[in-house]
Structures are given as C-alpha cells and as structure tokens.
C-alpha cells in the first residue's frame, strides 16, 4: 500500500535543517512531506508544540523533497 504523504499547515515561520540544506517554513503555507527528507521529524515535533497542524493538500502546497531523490 502506498504511503500517504503528510500535509501540514505552518503556524509559525522557521528555518529547518533537512540534512541537505536549510529550508524556510513560512507561517500560513501548507507543506507536504514526500518522505525523502527528515521533515517528518519536524512534523511530529511541530504537531506536539503547535507549530504545525495537519490539513488536506491545497493547490499551493509546497512539496518538501530531497533534490536528488
């Protein structure tokens, strides 16, 4: 079964280290994790501390992926 990509709404702006580069997260935008980076760890922490909220994908959702994946 195909893994469902997680989509989150950023509640605060922040810079995160995805192991290949710094990635800017902007409050109010939605981001989708394609599973090729460590973004899932930030999602887990962000859901606990309130900086992310799980939502459905929008047309302007940013796909977070490793550029060489």
CA distance 1 to 14: 33
| pLDDT reading at 60 higher than 60 | yes
Q: pLDDT of 3-24, one tens digit each?
A: 689 999 999 999 999 988 899 9
Sign of CA dihedral 29, 10, 69, 34: negative
Q: What is the DSSP letter of 61?
A: P
DSSP-assigned beta bridge partners for residue 31: 8, 62
Which pLDDT score is estimated for 21? 86
* Neighbour count for residue 29 (Cβ, 10 Å): 15
pTM: 0.90
* Per-residue confidence band for 69, with pLDDT thresholds at 50, 70 and 90: low
């Amino acid at each position: 079964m195909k893994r469902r990509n997680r989509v989150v709404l950023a509640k605060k702006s922040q810079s995160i280290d995805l192991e290949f580069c710094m990635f800017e997260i902007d409050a109010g935008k939605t981001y989708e994790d394609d599973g090729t980076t460590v973004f899932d760890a930030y999602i887990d922490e962000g859901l606990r501390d309130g900086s992310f909220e799980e939502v459905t994908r929008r047309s302007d959702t940013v796909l977070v992926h490793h550029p060489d994946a």
